[in-house]
Amino acid sequence: MRKFVIECPKCGRYAEASKGFFAKKHVECACGYKINVKAETLASKVCPHCGNTVVYDQSKGEGAKCPVCHERINTRENLSVLAEFTCPSCSCKLSADKNAKSYTCPLCETQINVQERIAKEAAKNDGLISVVKYEGDNTTFVWKHPIEDFNMGSQLIVHESQEAIFFRDGKALDLFGPGRHTLVTQNIPILEKLYKIASSTDIFHSEVYFINMTTQMGIKWGTDSKVRLFDPASGLHIEIGACGNFSMRVCDSRKLVVKLVGTTKGLTQGNIMGQTTEVTIVDKSKNLYVHSISEVVGKFKALVMNKVKSNIARIIKENSINILEIDEYMDVISEKLKDAINVTLEEYGLTMPEFYITSILTPDDDANFKRLKQQFAEKTLRVREEEVKRAEAEAAQSRKILEAQTEAQLKMVSAQGEAEALKIKAMAEAEAYKAQAMAEAAEMQAKGYTYQQETAREVGLQAMKNGITGGGNGGGGSGIGDIAGLAVTLGAMGSVVDMTKDALNPIVRNSSDIGSGVMDATAADAWNCTCGCSGIKSNFCPNCGNKKPEPKAGWDCACGCKGITSNFCPDCGSKKPEPPAAWDCVCGCKGITSNFCPDCGTKKPESWDCPDCGNKGINAKFCPDCGHKREG
């Protein structure tokens, strides 16, 4: 079993108790009161180190720590060390923990500052104070020293993160920085002028304020009521709340003390935003415990609330912030709120290095807020569906293009195969014809006649079959030889053998067109030069050397006139139509003038205008002037 000391709730004395399975549940105090160990284990006490009224576990014995300052709260040294002082109102002698901050006199109920009272009585008993130093905590901005009478030669100790100001009759005098300062006439020239100090033993009366220049963090804030705002995204009115913390630092100590502190005891974190404190008044003689709750009014609470409420709604509206996505903009809102608050704080010598919004309280039970969340969810779903449909359409288009490209490649391969097959077939036929011709030539050479003689013989035979003779005398004459020599008479041979027709094609279709075909071809090839030379058949003029002009492509007019080479119709005067703009298909086919691609069948895209350079009527995917990609 482990033993520990427990305080009697009746007389305040301490009794010994134990902890364990076989431990006594009740312990009898010297006053006769039976202490319920289980019920009285948790007790409240004023911490002798920080002065806060806290609840601690007595069963932990001397290892019990204050939950505020984390110092040991139940040691025997702390239980036995008390400070004695007198009440400034009724002059009765009192005793309390030497580190306590406040104490209420049980007779006159005067609230006594224990530290100030102890320091004054110590100075009164020991004479004048010899060391002046800061005795507050790190949550204090300004701390006033309780002693106001000093003698020359006293030591003023100012820490690295502090400044000290002397006051006389409400007027700020000298300002001391970090270090140890001996209060002599050379160090305090303003005091010397006011007091006319003659020696180091003389006394001067002043007030000393210590200013803590450190950055104090973790000061909490929160809106005391809802902030009404108009959500620009949905057009609904909703109410929100906000809370967080901020840090604060003194930037001008003289301005802070003169404008804000004045003649008060100082300035703490609790004075900034206000705090609620619980004070326990104990009258042990009457076994009476009175718990009173007091609230310290925050000096800047109204300022922070006003700036937060007025600016947070304006920031959300100006930046079009969706209330459902406001967590993403907490840093932006916090920075703007900090700038707005610092404008007023600088007038009091304070600044706010950091201001944080840690939570935005949304009205989850508000009908407008529920409707807002529903609208946002529906909008998000619609956008997601559109994205899915767009992706499916793009995939289908890509699949269609891929299929078209594949089909075009297959057609190309098939066409190449057919062409190769035709080429092979034609070569085979040519080789066969060549072999047959060589065989016939060899046969004719063996018989002793030529190809021309064989042809003349065949023509003569056909002429005789058709009753054609060489002259008008009928008989022998020149006979078949004369008929074969007459090229003009070939036009009369309508039933000439197939060999004759195959030999003359494709130059002329029948023998009667030979003369006219030759003349027309000759006339069509001739051209006239600008120098006057005409009937030129070569590519260059033999007179001046000019090149033969390229023939102009003719066009047909709607009035019926055809083969027109000029820009206007000679019959009706209509202007030559502009050639259709060529376009390139995604499958690779280029220079297409029709509305559909001849390879894959893709429709011609609609023309568009470039928004960057102003180029109009573009049929390609990219602008040819600036390279801007077509949207959609």
Domain assignment present for residue 475? The answer is no
Q: Provide the mean pLDDT of the chain.
A: 75
**Residue bearing the bigger pLDDT, 76 or 108:** 108
Number of domains forming the structure of the chain: 3
Q: What pTM was estimated for this model as a whole? A: 0.44
Question: pLDDT tens-digit profile of 204-262?
Answer: 677 888 999 989 888 888 888 888 887 766 677 778 888 999 999 999 988 888 888 87
- pLDDT over 90 (residue 396): no
Domain assignment present for residue 449? The answer is no
The pLDDT, as a whole number, for residue 632 is: 62
The pLDDT, as a whole number, for residue 474 is: 42
Domain assignment present for residue 146? The answer is no
Q: CATH code at 288?
A: 3.30.479.30
Q: Which two tokens stand for residue 294?
A: 């007091």
- pLDDT over 90 (residue 355): yes
Domain assignment present for residue 142? The answer is no
Question: pLDDT tens-digit profile of 134-165?
Answer: 887 788 888 888 777 777 667 888 998 899 98
Domain assignment present for residue 622? The answer is yes
Domain assignment present for residue 551? The answer is no
The pLDDT, as a whole number, for residue 286 is: 42
Q: Which two tokens stand for residue 578?
A: 């502009």
The alpha carbon torsion through 320, 326, 331, 335 (nearest 10 deg) reads 50
Asked which of 363, 397, 421 is the last residue of a domain, the reply is 363
3-state DSSP assignment of residue 339: helix
Percent of the chain with pLDDT over 90: 5
What are the Cα distances from residue 462, in Å, to 70, 455, 457, 495? 138, 11, 9, 8
**Residue bearing the bigger pLDDT, 23 or 183:** 23
Calpha distance 591→583 (Å, rounded): 5
Structural domain including 598 reads 561-632
- pLDDT over 60 (residue 127): no
Q: Which two tokens stand for residue 131?
A: 């060391």
- pLDDT over 80 (residue 322): no
Backbone angles phi, psi at 318, to 5 degrees: -65, -35
Question: pLDDT tens-digit profile of 516-575?
Answer: 444 454 455 688 888 888 888 788 888 888 888 877 667 788 888 887 878 888 888 888
Question: pLDDT tens-digit profile of 160-192?
Answer: 889 998 877 677 777 888 888 877 654 555 554
Question: pLDDT tens-digit profile of 464-521?
Answer: 777 655 544 444 444 444 444 444 344 434 434 444 444 444 433 444 444 444 445 4
Calpha distance 350→259 (Å, rounded): 11
**Residue bearing the bigger pLDDT, 3 or 530:** 530
Calpha distance 206→196 (Å, rounded): 14
CA 570 remoteness from chain centre: 68
Question: CB–CB of 329/357 below 8 Å?
Answer: no
The neighbour count for residue 571, using CB atoms within 10 Å, is 11
Asked which of 34, 50, 80 is the last residue of a domain, the reply is 80
Domain assignment present for residue 314? The answer is yes
Asked which of 31, 49, 80 is the last residue of a domain, the reply is 80
Residue 295 buriedness (CB in 10 A; 0-12 / 13-18 / 19+)? exposed
The pLDDT, as a whole number, for residue 497 is: 40
- pLDDT over 70 (residue 49): no
Closest CA to 335 of 413, 211, 244: 244
| C-alpha radius of gyration, the chain, whole number | 59
Backbone angles phi, psi at 133, to 5 degrees: -145, 165
The pLDDT, as a whole number, for residue 76 is: 55
- pLDDT over 80 (residue 404): yes
The pLDDT, as a whole number, for residue 515 is: 45
Closest CA to 362 of 168, 216, 229, 174: 229
**What length is written for the chain?**
632
Range 80-109 average pLDDT: 76
Confidence of residue 605 (pLDDT cuts 50, 70, 90): confident
Question: CB–CB of 303/341 below 8 Å?
Answer: yes
Calpha distance 45→65 (Å, rounded): 11
3-state DSSP assignment of residue 241: strand
Question: CB–CB of 99/106 below 8 Å?
Answer: no
- pLDDT over 70 (residue 113): yes
Instruction: Kindly give the interhelix angle for 301-318 and 330-345, rounded to the nearest 10 degrees.
Output: 140
3-state DSSP assignment of residue 373: helix
Q: What is the per-residue DSSP string for 224-240?
A: SSPEEEE-TTT--EEEE
Question: CB–CB of 537/547 below 8 Å?
Answer: no
The neighbour count for residue 90, using CB atoms within 10 Å, is 13
Confidence of residue 335 (pLDDT cuts 50, 70, 90): very high
DSSP state of 60: G
